[in-house]
Amino acid sequence: MSKKEYRFAYEEFDSADELNAADAALLKRAQEATADAYAPYSHFRVGAAARLSNGAIVTGTNQENASFPAGICAERTLLSAAASLFPGVGVDELAVSYFNEHGPSDRPISPCGICRQSLQEIEQRTGRPVRLVLGGQKGKVYIIPAAGQLLPLAFTSDELK
């Protein structure tokens, strides 16, 4: 038997004001996208914005459904739109923000499990890390160098071969 340990490092900023201009602009796009979310059931609006390797910016929002919780997260909406609009183009950075209609939106949130799986698969498919910028409408911001770090021991397409 051997014991294994998994760790990863990320950057924490006190606010978006400390970010470089490109990261701050991408996070602002994600914050603005929350206004377009369709979240009449949870009242938790999530917006995502990505900079693709061709320089294009794509956004996505969470889309809920009356048969709640059936819906789609902002990150997966964005990944689907990006793949449809720009087939084969990698995602360099992805910012995620939210607006909670019933409480503060003042700290970073992290992608859910299925979004982590989807992000990990994009990284595997394109052979490129997806850098994450995570923040609320204000407050701390986290930068994670590769989305796959959020899903250790991931189930991948390699297992299906």
Three-class SS state of 111: coil
Joined tokens for residue 47: 């917006």
pLDDT one-digit tens code per residue, 36-71: 999 999 999 999 999 999 999 999 999 999 887 789
**Quick one: which H or E segment has residue 122?**
helix 113-126
Question: 133: pLDDT confidence band, cut at 50, 70 and 90?
Answer: very high
Burial, 10: exposed, middle or buried (Cβ in 10 Å; 0-12, 13-18, 19+)? middle
Residues with a known catalytic role: 75
User: First-to-last CA distance in the chain?
Assistant: 27
Domains and CATH numbers, the chain: 11-150 (3.40.140.10)
pLDDT at 3 over 90: yes
Residue 157 has pLDDT above 90, yes or no: no
Closest CA to 121 of 63, 79, 61, 71: 79
Instruction: Give CA separation, 80 vs 50, 115, 121, in Å.
Output: 12, 12, 13
Residue 123 predicted with pLDDT over 90: yes
Q: Tell me the mean pLDDT in the region 128-134.
A: 97
65-94 pLDDT tens trace: 988 778 999 999 999 999 999 999 999 999
